[in-house]
Amino acid sequence: MKPLIGISCCMKTFGIYGMPNHAASDTYVRAVDRVVGGVPLLIPANGAEADIAALLARLDGLIFTGSRSNVAPENYGGPPQPEGAPEDPARDATTLPLLRAAIAAGMPVLAICRGLQELNVALGGTLHQRLQDLPGHIDHSTPLQPFAPVRTGLAHRVRATPGGWLHRLAGTTEIAVNSLHNQGIDRPAPGLAVEAVAIDGTIEAVRVVTRPDGREAGYAVGVQWHPEYDFATNPLSARIFADFAAALAPAGRRETTAA
């Protein structure tokens, strides 16, 4: 049986009446179809209505997606965001407890862009709200460019931690990545290992080493860039999804209780 892969959704408005919809980019679905070899299942951003125990009992792995919206600062004790900064409280209310439960249960997790930021916040870390406002930092935000190959193209280099998870996948410590984010990790959560940093020191990849209760963590990694955009042409992007696939336990062999 193919593994069931949960993909986190955002709450977005569509149509002429601005109706709320639960949405995830097709790029994640295609990555699960074509590289992970699983069945993609979209997880709605339904907050308090989300049955996390039921999700964990049925899913084999989770992908936490990128998004234009920011993780709200009240979730990590940060100052108010600038006026007009996009937020998605329904997503926060779903993904943060889901991440904590998934890490506790040892479920394989791949966190991408906003997903990486959620992973850090869920485990007790904090965020910078606008990296481009920090002295000595480059602008990591989405280029205002309608031509997709330029908008999502490789933007800067990151340095992988020698001997780490990302270094093993890439076969080198120098990696070129795309860049489409404003927020970034400020204080890493306890139990996180830094797997890569950008040229300005921004944390670009992490791995969960220990769970909050001190036990060794299962497979849980995050990257700040978007491997789902170029998995068909970028070998490292494909390897990230393939590595996640390799971590998926056969059906019936998952941990069944969360500590």
| Pairing of the two strands 4-8 and 39-43 | parallel
- Work out the average pLDDT over 110-121: 97
Determine which one of 10, 113, 140, 181 is catalytic: 113
pLDDT tens string 158-197: 999 999 999 999 999 999 998 777 788 999 999 999 999 9
109 forms bridges with which residues in the sheet?
A: 62, 220
Is residue 41's pLDDT more than 70? yes
Q: How high is the pLDDT of residue 182?
A: 75
pLDDT > 50? residue 252? no
- Let me know if 140 is a catalytic residue: no
Percent of the chain with pLDDT over 90: 76
N-to-C CA span, the chain: 27
113 given a catalytic annotation? yes
228 is catalytic: yes
| 105 pLDDT above the threshold of 80 | yes
Average pLDDT over residues 11-17: 91
Active-site residue among 140, 167, 181, 226? 226
At 34, the pLDDT band (50, 70, 90 cuts) reads very high
- CA–CA dist 207, 217 (Å, integer): 9
pLDDT of residue 250: 59
The separation between CA 214 and the C-alpha centre of its own chain, rounded to angstroms, equals 22
Q: What is the DSSP letter of 51?
A: -
Dihedral pair phi/psi, residue 59, rounded to 5° = -85, 155
Neighbours of 250 (CB within 10 A): 9
pLDDT at residue 245, rounded to an integer: 98
